[in-house]
Structure 1
Amino acid sequence: MTYRSLSLALAGGIFTLIATVPASAEMGVSVYGGFQTAPHSDIEVSDGPDFRAGWEGKSFQTPPYYGVRGTWWMTNLSKPNLGLSVDFTHAKVYANSETLASSGWSHFEFSDGINLLTLNALYRMRIEGTKFVPYVGAGAGINVPHVEVTRGSGRTFEYQLGGATVQAQAGVAYDFNENWSAFVEYKGNYSWVDVDIDSGASLKTNILTNAVNVGVSYRF
């Protein structure tokens, strides 16, 4: 199975879950932002020399890094500490000036997002007598990058299905009341990106994004 076919299967599973979540479950909606980075990654180009890209996250530059998450806690199944989430993250990376100089490309980034959509399993650990709720999670999904490449006279500027993504996270929430909470977390995503660029060529790279997120949640 290719990364693209796996990605389509994962996307189908995510939307099936959304359609079948019981209405009586404890639901939560979260929004978050934060500081996101990415280490260097190797770039494979089908019609040219491979090279190594240095990435900048530029988390607070427009369009900013952000995410939206929907969570179903299994209180109706007598497993209140187990949950499932659907998580969308607008992560992004920009090739640094050294990368552009060494590759000869004039523009290379996924700045309108690597755009990660994942289905995750969560486990929360309430601390008795406090309002703090640590949690961990892991999952998988798809990446949909906005591919921005300019090399010579060729230009690519479009959204594409890049491939699969895996995710891990750990954080702590603080419950203000039964409906509202705030949280801080680490979230990491490893994405296999396989996209088309100009002249019928392809580009492949594996991107690891690391983020420290701060957000708020509403439960109902």
Structure 2
Amino acid sequence: MKQLTAIALLATAAAVPTASLAENDFSFYMGFQGAPHSVVTGTDPANGVSTDLDFTAAWEGKSWTPPPYYGFRWTHWKSANFGYGVEFSHDKVYASDETRAATGYDRFEFTDGLNIITANVNYRWPEQWMNGDLTPYVGGGLGFAMPHVDVQATAGGPHTFGYQFTGGAMRLFAGASYEINDTWSMFGEYQFTYSMNDAELESGGSFQTNVITNALNIGVTYSY
């Protein structure tokens, strides 16, 4: 429900009327997202291998495994070049089979979303290439992570399964948008996110890990 609430907040922000005739964009994207290894520390009384956690998790993105990787972005352009807005991305990571076998877990993942929500600033160079139809852009934002934490030790026992606010997050992106007509455009971009995750476990323990994601996105934008 919290994930749906976040999406609803983005849609609400997109619907807020502006005091000028400045352009607004609402974008949707999907793509291929992965993540490098990260160190996991903490404690888990239900873990049969070691209750003190200190290991390196090898993450898998599995972008197209349901639920898939996707994102929404709303941008209000204050001028031809500068804009601001909000973004929600349903990033996700699974600990690899090797990681789970070595550390005593049957499940260790953020797969109904690592869920990064940020307030963004954007900059673009309109009408630069291809007779003015292709516009390069960059952007970034600060916000928070709201992952769906799914953790259970191999031996069974307490199953942590739910959304949590786990810490701060940031994103950076760069790409180019191609104008189809006055209303619609398509785009491709690279996106980077960084999130600090301090999650509580049903076993009474907790764990901490900072996750980086890298993604190549393809999407469409509706301008109004």
Q: Give, in angstroms, the shift of residue 198 of structure 1.
A: 2.2
- Alpha carbon RMSD of aligned pairs, Å? 1.9
Alpha-carbon distance in structure 2 between the residues aligned to 1:100 and 1:202: 17
Q: Give, in angstroms, the shift of residue 139 of structure 1.
A: 1.0
Alpha-carbon distance in structure 2 between the residues aligned to 1:57 and 1:124: 29
Q: Give, in angstroms, the shift of residue 154 of structure 1.
A: 2.3
Encode CA deviations 1:191-213: one digit per residue, 9 max, x unaligned. Answer: 00011012221110000010000
Q: Give, in angstroms, the shift of residue 29 of structure 1.
A: 0.7
1:30 partnered with 2:27: yes
1:151-170 → structure 2 map (5 Å cutoff): 151=153, 152=155, 153-170=157-174
Q: Which amino acid aligns with 1:172?
A: A
Equivalent of 1:131, from 130, 133, 149?
133
Q: Give, in angstroms, the shift of residue 23 of structure 1.
A: 4.8
Q: Give, in angstroms, the shift of residue 166 of structure 1.
A: 0.8
CA contact (8 A) 1:124 1:134 kept: yes
TM-score, structure 2 as length reference: 0.86
CA contact (8 A) 1:21 1:72 kept: no
Alpha-carbon distance in structure 2 between the residues aligned to 1:50 and 1:164: 21
Quote the residue 1:80 is aligned against. 80
Equivalent of 1:172, from 166, 172, 176?
176
* Residue segments in structure 1 that go unaligned for 5+ positions in a row: 1-10
1:59 aligns to what SS in structure 2? coil
Alpha-carbon distance in structure 2 between the residues aligned to 1:160 and 1:115: 10
**Is 163-172 or 42-51 further displaced after alignment?**
42-51
Q: Give, in angstroms, the shift of residue 20 of structure 1.
A: 7.0
CA contact (8 A) 1:86 1:119 kept: yes
Q: Which amino acid aligns with 1:57?
A: G
Alpha-carbon distance in structure 2 between the residues aligned to 1:91 and 1:31: 14
Alpha-carbon distance in structure 2 between the residues aligned to 1:130 and 1:26: 17
Alpha-carbon distance in structure 2 between the residues aligned to 1:196 and 1:21: 39
Alpha-carbon distance in structure 1 between the residues aligned to 2:60 and 2:19: 41
Q: Which amino acid aligns with 2:80?
A: P
Q: Give, in angstroms, the shift of residue 168 of structure 1.
A: 0.4
* Residue segments in structure 2 that go unaligned for 5+ positions in a row: 1-5, 45-51
Identity %: 46
Alpha-carbon distance in structure 2 between the residues aligned to 1:202 and 1:168: 29
Encode CA deviations 1:151-206: one digit per residue, 9 max, x unaligned. Answer: 13221001000111011000000011111100000010000001101222111000
Q: Give, in angstroms, the shift of residue 72 of structure 1.
A: 0.3
TM-score, structure 1 as length reference: 0.87
Q: Give, in angstroms, the shift of residue 46 of structure 1.
A: 2.7
Q: Which amino acid aligns with 1:145?
A: P
Alpha-carbon distance in structure 2 between the residues aligned to 1:61 and 1:149: 18
Alpha-carbon distance in structure 1 between the residues aligned to 2:75 and 2:39: 34
CA contact (8 A) 2:53 2:207 kept: no
